[in-house]
Structure 1
Amino acid sequence: METSLYMPVKGFLEKAGYVVKGEVGGCDIVGLSDADPPVLVVCELKLSFNLELILQAVDRAAVSDEVWIAARVSARGRGREADRRYRDLCRRLGIGMLGISDSGEVSVIVGSVSPMPRTNPKRRSRLMQEHRKRRGDPALGGSTRAPVMTAYRQQALGCAAALAAGPLRVREVRAGIPDAGKILLSNVYGWFDRLDRGIYGLTDAGREALLRWPQP
């Protein structure tokens, strides 16, 4: 699975000085540096190099300072990473190529030179905000079948954990979750029950969510 490539690439980017998180804003991997201004790096994962991977990278170039593609290299040396035309296309587009061996070793096949200008600053800003708001790194990059643990879902789970012992007023929940008022009112996941004005309890769906994603 593509998630098997996540940890090797995460380690590679962390060694380069980035804070790395998976599945942020639809991107498999997002790295953010502490520089001023920050450097935003995006990497897309596939089990093998193909055209779809390049198309994803071109899309991500609109919001990132560097964009990379990563895939497992062919044991027989017959994959696209051995095709000079594929490598030349990545160079012309400014897309970096990372190859991952069966043992998890990461090698730079083509460096990222980022000649393409950013064209979507709003989307870039949303991506950076999601990265910064998310606590820890709760999602493996390359995941496709499991719900993504977004910053919003993390805060909603925090509200659910606060209500697990019994109903509370919004201001009491807000003490630990600043956006609790909006989250409880919108009730996107159906986890909360409005018992009275400003008072909320937890639904069965909310209790099931806490069993699925236990909170510290």
Structure 2
Amino acid sequence: METSLYLPVKGFLEQAGYTVKGEVGGCDIVGLSEDDPPVVVVCELKLKFNLELILQAVDRASVADEVWIAARVSAKGKGRETDKRYRDLCRRLGIGMLGVTDIGEVNVIVGSVTPMPRTNPKRRSRLMREHQRRKGDPAVGGSTRQPLMTAYRQQALGCASALAAGPLKVRDVRAQVPEAGKILLSNVYGWFERLDRGVYGLSAAGQEALQRWRQPVD
């Protein structure tokens, strides 16, 4: 699975000085440097190098300073990573290639040396904001077909956790989750019940959510 590539590539980017998180804004891996403004690095994962992987990387070019693609290298040496045309295409597009071995070693096949154009500043800002607001790294890059632990879901779970012992006023929940007012009012997931003006309780769906997402949210 593509998720098997996540930790090796995450470690590679962390050694390069980036704070790395998975599944941010539709990207498999997003890394931010400590610079001001941060350097944004995006990496897309696939089990094999193919055209779809390059197309994904091209799409990410509008939000990143560096774009990488990573895939498992062929044990028989017959993968796309050995195709000079594929490597040359990545060079021309400014896309870096990372090869991951069966034992988790990450090697640079093509360096991401050409600055990628920033053509969508709003999308870039949303990506950075989600990365910075998300606590920890709760989503494994390359995950598909399952709900992701976004920053918003983390805060909603924080509200649910605060209400687990019984109904509370919004201001009391806000002491733990600063954006509790908006989250309780919008009730996107149906986890909360408005019992009185400014007073909320936990719904059955909210109780189920706390059981399902049994992981730290802070």
What TM-score does the superposition give when structure 2 sets the normalisation length?
Answer: 0.98
Aligned equivalents of 2:11, 2:202: Cα separation in 1: 39
- SS in structure 2 of the partner of residue 74 of structure 1: coil
> How many residue pairs align between the two structures?
216
CA distance in 2, matches of 1:100, 1:215: 29
What amino acid maps onto 1:25 in structure 2? G
- Name the structure 1 match of 2:210: 210
CA deviation after TM superposition for structure 1 residue 214, in Å: 2.1
Partner of 2:59: 59
Instruction: Report what 1:122 is aligned to.
Output: 122
* C-alpha spacing 1:82/1:215, structure 2 compared with 1 (3 Å): closer
Displacement of 1:39 after TM fit? 0.5
Counterpart position of 1:192: 192
Once residues 2 and 113 of structure 1 are traced to their aligned partners in structure 2, the CA distance between those partners, rounded to angstroms, is: 25
User: Which AA in structure 2 matches 1:91?
Assistant: R
Is 1:28 aligned to 2:39, yes or no?
no
CA distance in 2: counterparts of 1:177 and 1:68, whole angstroms: 35
SS in 2 for 1:159: helix
Letter in 1 for 2:21: K
- Give the SS at the match of 2:157: helix
Q: Secondary structure at the match of 1:45?
A: strand
Q: Which amino acid aligns with 1:179?
A: E
Pair 1:95 & 2:106 matched: no
Q: What is the match of residue 158 of structure 2?
A: 158
Mapped to 2, the partners of 1:206 and 1:114 lie a distance apart of 47
Partner of 1:4: 4
8 Å contact kept, 2:160–2:210: yes
Offset at residue 116 of structure 1 (A): 3.3
8 A contact 1:158–1:215 mirrored in 2: no
Q: Secondary structure at the match of 1:200?
A: strand
Unaligned runs of 5+ in 2: none
Determine the structure 2 residue equivalent to 1:16: 16
Q: Which runs of 5+ in 1 are unaligned?
A: none
1:157/1:215 contact within 8 Å kept: no
Quote how far apart the aligned CAs of 1:146 are: 1.6
List structure 1 runs of 4+ shifted beyond 4 angstroms. Answer: none
Q: Percent identity?
A: 82
- Structure 2 residue 49 is the aligned partner of structure 1 residue 49: yes
1:173 CA displacement: 0.2
Matched residues in 2 for 1:32 and 1:213: separation? 26
- The CA deviation at 1:115 is 3.7
3-state SS of paired residue (1:22): strand
1:31-66 per-residue CA deviation (whole Å, 9 max, x = no partner) reads 000012210000000000000000000000110000
After superposition, the C-alpha distances for 1:123-159 in whole angstroms (9 at most, x for unaligned) are 0000000000000000000000221100000000000
Q: 1:54-100 CA deviation, whole Å, 9 max, x = no partner? A: 00000001100000000000000000000000000000000000000
Q: In structure 2, what is the equivalent of residue 38 of structure 1?
A: 38
Shift of 1:215: 4.8
Are 1:109 and 2:79 an aligned pair? no
Distance 2:54 2:3 in 1: 18
- Kept in 2, the 8 Å contact 1:139–1:149? The answer is yes
